[in-house]
Structure 1
Amino acid sequence: MKENILETLKNLHFTEYEAKAYLTLLQDSPLTGYAVAKNSGVPRSRIYEVLDNLTSRGDILVSLGNTPQYTPVPAKELIKNRRQKAEENFELAENSLAQFENSANDRENIWNIMGRSEILDKVKACISSSSTRILLEVWQEEYEVLEAELKQAAARGVNVTIIAYGEIVSDFANVYLHYMGDAITDEYGGRWIVISGDDSEVVAGIVSLGDDSRAAWTMHVGLVMPITEVIIHDLYLMEIMAKHRELLEESFGKNLIQLRRKFSIHPDFKKHYVD
């Protein structure tokens, strides 16, 4: 238990000696420097340097006199102070680094992302940075991972529109259930994800290969425009199928199978992107 607490204090930027001294004072105080060294195992040659560091940071208090004594700031107060300082540092960093935003959002590069979780993390970042509209093509498995971020986006006024593969139900997004549903997974041999944020950023890739999943992220207009428009044209198709499915399937077969076969280059009429 004590070792776990020491590790926790180290994560709060205590050195090992500082953590031992502070924990000793939590257990028994006030103490003289000599007593802290004796009870904590911190070398006597280092104890006053350690206590001075803790005092200057405000983690402990000292009563000056012929023999100074030390007492810790209560744990709750320590955590509150650390949290406040961290928030101040994050705010300072955000303001200081804002000047580099344009260089970071390089609109000429296309970046490769490997791994399903890494891809979904980038999709979450795209969702969080969107302020106007999110267009998303997604399977149910990945939607469940992204639902919280999508709901937060909708709550701040972002229009969220989803083309769903599988049974996706949402009370905050416009959901279009793909007319082929899960059957399309068999034809393509895997699941993909495509997102367009504010018509200015896209992430697109395969997410059903575990660590071998791969996607591209870019703000390059040469890809953002056609990928966004492909999603929009899929939405056109969802609307058309909803109103005229019977007529279209009379012309092109169930689920428009004749059209899909017409433009397939494989004898089995399946896609082989992930072979």
Structure 2
Amino acid sequence: MDKSLEIVRKLGLNEYESKAYLALLRFRSAQASSISRHAAIPRARVYDVLSTLEKKGFVQRKPVKPVEYFALQPSEVFKKLEKEKKAELDSRLLELNEAIKRVEKELVSDTVSVATGEQVWLVEGRDNIYTRILQQLENCKETVIISGSNDSIKRKKAAFRQNLDALPKKGVKVKYRLLSPRSSARFMVFDRQAVLLFLSNDPASAGQEKAVLIQSPFVANFFSSAAKN
């Protein structure tokens, strides 16, 4: 039970919500009073707990009186959560990509210093971009995240095979995230310190390739968190 509770809580439920959901999975359907008793949830809290589970898509009501609740199977819930998270991530990446494009248009030089001392570089041409990537890979100490289309990831693996193969030997984790077909955002995160965000469409010719290198722990953490969802 404790192990099941721990697993269910990873789906974004608190302790009472997890207990109620697991109880309903065992009993198929039950009234609030039964759930309160078997899941050890105070009667004063059980209706709020079930209402929250219903809003989150974990349980539904039966059209009977007194009201009974039944749980959706974990596989159904996971598919729903996965779809929602992917849609949310794609939307956030699209917004950020558009914001970076606006920054690109406003750049008056190839380097912009921000108030915190963090910097943004506009990098044009695949050779220049790959040089920047190599510099970042050589300095990485913890984690590298590569996010993009299947073809984009394959190109990075081929171009930096020797460097990427050497990273795990230094204790550096290399993670890949495959974007959905609806998302055009491609990026790399280095040690939660820097992000390389590609601005050009995928694929682009070597001369037309453009990217922004953002030296910012805040932005890097945002992309690292986004890559987990």
Which deviates the most, 89-98 or 77-86?
A: 89-98
- Distance, in Å, in 2 between the alignment partners of 1:87 and 1:62 is 27
Q: 1:142-174 deviations in whole A, cap 9, x for unaligned?
A: 17779x989x9xxxxxxxxxxxxxxxxxxxxxx
In 1: Cα distance, 2:163 partner to 2:68 partner: 63
Instruction: Give the one of 106, 125, 130 matched to 2:120.
Output: 106
Runs of 4 or more, structure 1, over 3 Å off, are: 102-105, 108-115, 124-141, 143-146, 197-202, 217-220
Residue 57 of structure 1 and its aligned partner are, at CA, apart by: 2.7
Residue 201 of structure 1 and its aligned partner are, at CA, apart by: 8.6
Distance 1:6-1:64 versus aligned 2 partners, 3 A rule: same
- The one-letter code of the counterpart of 2:28 is S
1:70 Cα deviation after fit:
1.0
- Structure 1, unmatched stretches of 5+, are 153-196, 203-216, 221-275
Deviation at 1:5, TM superposition (A): 2.1
* Whole-angstrom CA distance in 2 between matches of 1:5 and 1:133: 38
Inter-CA distance 52–112: structure 2 relative to 1 (3 Å threshold)? same
Identity of aligned residues (%): 16
Number of the residue aligned with 1:84: 83
Match of 2:96 in 1: 97
Number of residue pairs aligned between Structure 1 and Structure 2: 156
Structure 1 partner of 2:202: none
Does 2:20 align with 1:6? no
TM-score (norm 2): 0.52
Q: Which stretch of the first structure deviates more once superposed, 101-110 or 38-47?
A: 101-110
Q: Structure 1 residue aligned with 2:142, among 101, 113, 117?
A: 117
C-alpha separation in 2, matches of 1:82 and 1:94? 18
Let me know the Cα RMSD of the aligned residues.
Answer: 4.6
Letter in 2 for 1:142: A
2:120 maps to amino acid: D
Work out the CA distance in 2 between the residues paired with 1:140 and 1:87.
27
- Stretches of structure 2 that go unaligned for 5 or more consecutive residues are 105-118, 124-131, 179-197, 199-205, 216-229
* Secondary structure at the counterpart of residue 61 of structure 2: strand
| Structure 1 residues 101 and 7: CA distance shift in structure 2, 3 A | farther
- Structure 1 distance, partners of 2:36, 2:214, is 57
In structure 1, the residue matched to 2:49 is 50
Deviation at 1:60, TM superposition (A): 0.9
Tell me what 2:64 maps to: 65
Q: Distance in 1 between matches of 2:73 and 2:89?
A: 24
3-state DSSP of counterpart to 1:54: helix
Residue among 135, 142, 149 paired with 2:166: 142
Per the normalisation by structure 1, the TM-score is 0.44
How far residue 18 of structure 1 moved from its aligned partner, in angstroms, is: 0.9
SS class of match (1:12): coil
